[in-house]
Every structure is written in structure tokens, then in C-alpha cells.
Amino acid sequence: GQQVQQSPASLVLQEGENAELQCNFSTSLNSMQWFYQRPEGSLVSLFYNPSGTKQSGRLTSTTVIKERRSSLHISSSQITDSGTYLCAMDLNNNRIFFGDGTQLVVKP
């Protein structure tokens, strides 16, 4: 079954709006990561976030391990934020499972 559930599947924003992306895990996990996948497919690691809150510029990640969830908040979205956001969980055996991703489109 699907071990990593991401929501929403897609999101359309006007430039300047905020976005909240969610990730839920069906099993206990060792850690989790957020990635940005560019339209051409390459991956950028955003956060490695076993627990708690981390911030980088306009991005904030909050993970609550015991509740098996993580969120990614994008503030003041820009057109260049468009792409796919993937969350992935790392089980104790070091295998990473990816969610289906959230497709974000930011319009001018």
C-alpha cells in the first residue's frame, strides 16, 4: 500500500500567495526529507527533517514524527517556485519511499 501520502496532488497559486503542502506516513520512520523536482526532472534537496521545524528563506518544514506527518510551507510564492514537491520517508533500513508529489503552479 501507499506508505507516503501527499496532499494536495496539485495546487495553483497567484504569485505572492502562501502554500501549505502536507505529507502523511503510514508507518513509523527514521527520518524524512522534502525535495523540489525541477520541471526537467532533477532533484533539489530542500530539507532533511527528522523532527521539529526548519526554515530556509521562504520555506518552512515542520515534522511531527510521533504523528507521522510533515508539512512544507511556502510563503510569498514566486513563479520560479513552480514544479513538483516530493516528500520522502526513510525507514530504519535506510530505504527511502517517495510520495506522489504535489504539482505546484504559480501564476503571475
Partner 1 sequence: GPKVLQIPSHQIIDMGQMVTLNCDPVSNHLYFYWYKQILGQQMEFLVNFYNGKVMEKSKLFKDQFSVERPDGSYFTLKIQPTALEDSAVYFCASSPDWGQDTQYFGPGTRLLVL
Dig out the grid coordinates for 51 from the structure.
523532527
The residues of the shown chain that bind partner 1, judged by CB under 8 A, are 30-31, 33, 35, 41-43, 45, 48, 86, 88, 90, 92-101
Q: Which is nearer to partner 1, 17 or 90 (CB)?
A: 90
Q: Which residue(s) pair with 43 in the sheet?
A: 37
Question: What whole-number distance in Å separates Cα of residue 55 and Cα of residue 30?
Answer: 20
Question: What whole-number distance in Å separates Cα of residue 25 and Cα of residue 1?
Answer: 11
Q: Which is nearer to partner 1, 58 or 97 (CB)?
A: 97
Q: Which is nearer to partner 1, 20 or 100 (CB)?
A: 100
